Chains A and B, each alone.
Chain A
Amino acid sequence: MMKFRYILLFGLLLVAHGLSAQSPKGSVLIKNATVLTVTQGTLENTDVLVEDGLIKKIGQGLSVPKGVESIDASGKFLMPGIIDAHSHLALDVVNEATAPITAQVSMADVVNPFDVGIYRALAGGTTIAHGLHGSANAIGGQSITMKYRYGTSDPEGLFMKEAPRTIKFALGENPTRVHGRGKNLQPRTRMGVEAVIRNGFEEAIQYKKKWETYNAAKDKKNSTVTPPEYNLKLETLSDILDGEIIIHCHSYRADEIYMLINVCRDFGVDKLVFTHVNEGFKVAPELAKYTMGASVFSDWWAYKFEVYYSTAYNAAILMENDVITSINSDSNELIRHLYHEAAKTQRYGGLSDEQALSLITINPAKQLGIDQYVGSIEEGKQADLVIFDQHPLSVYAKPQMTFVDGIKYFDINEDVDDQRLKVSPTQMVEPVYLQAEDERCMHGVELFTEEAANFTHTH
């Protein structure tokens, strides 16, 4: 009998393990909500049926399938899970600030699923975030698109497996400060940044040729060719040139944005998104024609000279010029109220509700290459959803429930005092965070410059 129990327990563990290897998916029926689909207008008094993590049906008077929980959302607003195209949350290390090109490193290796910030982002309706390398290098490391399935202790449990590969580039002051001024290495100027990127691409082309030559020769009879040296950095750059990786480029000034557009056009690269892009509004027609868009701050400016000539009307100007535009956080704080950041485009530029909501849903999804899965409420899409008590663009709106793959990860009525997954057994004095410790684009590179340590903002 005892033995049988052990076998049963073992069997259960196997099943549990099997489940955890694949991200769990949920089923739920959300009834009578005002559904803000983003792509197909607003549907009053409508039900959304979720089965096995996918949106199965949208309609009125849907019946509850057996065993599926039903939630009455009368008087409430349902919108797609919010997507942040630029975050460093839940990453243990952000900058590999040792060379102007570090395409070989990946943020997937440093994901920390225990970061309580993930839960807080969910409490603000954010379900997906793009975890980026920092901005120390002209070509930084590869990024990771995460679904915020808080509770897993396995970093891979957070990965959005369907998301295409992405990489971080950075222009302007950050790479020139870290390498040029900090270490007396190119680039020290915006000319140098362009050269570093062009040289990197050219080197990758040569590398690819070497392998092509080798591959063509190696199977020939009596071939004595030896393979070229494997180089992960150049492999990655080749993949960019082959269109397999989307570039997300940290940028501020219009001239440098225009420069990278030209570089990418020369190399036939069209998977290019600009991020922060404070002066994007000055080259809006070019961004609209040649890129996958711009991911901007709603109103951050003047924290450094590069962003002194910014405007909070940036997002509105870009949208009205048909640039695919999103609003990003780059902050563990802003990621909790991106709905409010998007709402600011109504003060600064008078965008419609639908335009404003697209800034934090379908548009960032397009920029991450995941818009066929998420970013709007449509049948067949993944059930990442948020219920608000008021219209999410109101300053008074409070997220009530947040779902990822149909599973509820946040419920305002079930929120408990301590949501940490892991508590330090040795730390007697808990850290107290006051303002601005969450600015992380240049996190970890203070070593290279004394003055950096004193900055409030160091994007």
Chain B
Amino acid sequence: MRKNSLIIYIVLLLLLPVLSYGQIEGEVLKPEGGSFLLKGATVVTVTDGVLENTDVLISAGKIQEIGKNISAPSATELDCQGQFIYPGMIDSGTRMGLVEVGSLAETQDYAEIGNVTPNMQALTAVNPNSVVIPVTRVSGVTTTLSVPAGGLFPGTSALINLNGYTPDQMYAGFKGVPMNFPTLARRGHWDKRSDEDIEKDAQKALKDINDIWERASTYMKLEDADADLTYYPEMEQLAKVVRGELALMIEVNRAEDILSAIKWIKEKKVKKAILTGVAEGYRVAAEIADAGFPVITGPVLAIPSRDSDRYDAAYSNAGKMQKAGVKVALRTNEAENVRNLPFNAGFAAAYGMGKEEALKAVTIVPAEIFGVDDRLGSIEEGKSATLFIADGDPFETKTQIKHVFIDGYKIPMTSRHIRLYQEFLERNPGLEK
């Protein structure tokens, strides 16, 4: 008898894991790999015009073929008639994956302690399972630059695609080192420094940057000479910038500071320089164009940088620079609101940039700036299948994004925001139980 009950217990214990699964129900939505044939869409290639009624074949993570009446029996077919295919949008400056809840220190991983920490790797801190990622990518933003903040050299930013279970699976092929250029600006009304103190602070910061650059150059020369070097990770990283292996991303916003930054870049013979922020770029657009450095600007949806500015200064900045001949990409400088990138582009378009250039500023132009235009930024055969399908102009709020593909994976079109909508649109019980 006792033996029997023991056997029953053992059987029950063995059954437990199976029984526990009884608590789980509902559809599992995962990114889906494989081959896909997108039929009959209007393909907005960005680099090669707009192709009407065209098919796109995706397999092995790539755009294999673009053309009419493609046949691929083994591929999953998606009817895209009346819909538009665009390359995935790239946000060229964010804190994507580096922060989960803005105000909580435990979830803030974008600002390390120290004034000079270029060796801090954003890619390491990106959380592939951040709730923000599904919220963002269903909007057609597939690729973001995650940028550390604070200090003179806050870290190394990383370009990521918004799909993958490890940072390496997400890595999209570009890293850059941001540098905050010293500013002669008063940073808002709370900044109560005297004019003299502002100038003193900026001069000191510039002297520090010059010293650091000098040290990094020396470090590079010693490295090149195979010298026996003491462990110095900050300089090791900056030496890569001096050598030109990594781009230097110079954050600078005030007009006069932009001119100083251009002068500094030329003096130091920086090999790969990108200007970021550039809020007052429109004031010195010709000078930026002459210098030939690419610009990442934004947010477009921002208040003007000075009280004396025109109300639309931030809206029209990108367009004015682009028209002056500057290569301009857009950023939101956001974390949880990166999904507003298309609307930033829409405002830039309305205030002088035009739709076509605004689209380029969130696709092929950043791809070129980051040196990944062989893989991203347009719909071309051989490129990564990182794209989205929409029922209209993706900058318009009315438009619905129907499908998103990242590196050939079909992304589930859901997020916590959508699931809450599904649950609460018609709550049950309603007012009465």
Contact = CB atoms under 8 A, between A and B. Distances in A.
B185 interface: yes
Contact of B311 (A120, A282, A303): A120
A336 B277 CA distance: 21
Interface string A304-322: 1100111111001100110
A432 B305 contact: yes
B416 A311 contact: yes
B191 A431 contact: yes
Interface string B336-364: 11011001001101110001000000000
Which of B302, B333, B399, B420 lies at the interface centre, i.e. has the most chain A CB atoms within 10 A of its CB?
A: B420
B305 A428 contact: no
Interface residues of B, number: 65
Contacts of A395: 343, 346-347, 349-350, 395-397
Contact of A317 (B103, B340, B400, B424): B424
B312 interface: yes
Interface stretch (A20-28, A374-382, A415-423): A415-423
B397 A340 contact: yes
Contacts of B416: 309, 311
A304 B104 contact: yes
A116 interface: yes
A113 to B, nearest CB: 14
Nearest to B333: A435
Interface string B375-402: 0000000000000000000011111100
B54 interface: no
Contacts of B350: 395-398
B193 to A, nearest CB: 9
A398 B351 contact: yes
A7 to B, nearest CB: 40
A343 B397 contact: yes
Interface string A447-459: 0000100011110
A302 B189 CA distance: 27
B423 to A, nearest CB: 9
Contacts of B339: 299
Given A337-B301, A347-B397, A313 B420 contact: yes
B109 to A, nearest CB: 14
Nearest to A254: B424
A265 to B, nearest CB: 13
B391 to A, nearest CB: 11
A310 B343 CA distance: 20
Contacts of B337: 299-300
Nearest to A343: B397
Interface in A282-297: 282, 284-286, 288-289
Interface string B397-424: 1111000000000000000111011001
B311 A415 contact: yes
Contacts of B349: 395-396
B188 A437 contact: yes
Contacts of A300: 337
Interface stretch (B66-74, B319-327, B366-374, B425-433): B425-433
A434 interface: yes
Contact of A333 (B103, B132, B302, B336): B302
A346 interface: yes
B105 interface: yes
A373 interface: no
A123 interface: yes
A102 interface: no
B298 to A, nearest CB: 10
Nearest to A302: B336
A433 B303 contact: yes
Contact of A344 (B187, B253, B397): B397
A434 B185 CA distance: 10
Given A284-B427, A304-B102, A396-B346, A333 B311 contact: no
22 contacts: A123-B311, A285-B430, A288-B431, A301-B336, A305-B101, A305-B104, A308-B100, A311-B421, A321-B427, A333-B303, A340-B397, A343-B397, A347-B399, A347-B400, A395-B397, A398-B351, A415-B310, A431-B186, A431-B191, A431-B307, A432-B253, A434-B279
Interface of B: 100-105, 131-132, 183-191, 195, 198, 253-254, 277, 279-280, 299, 301-308, 310-312, 333, 335-337, 339-340, 343, 346-347, 349-351, 355, 395-400, 416-418, 420-421, 424-425, 427, 430-431
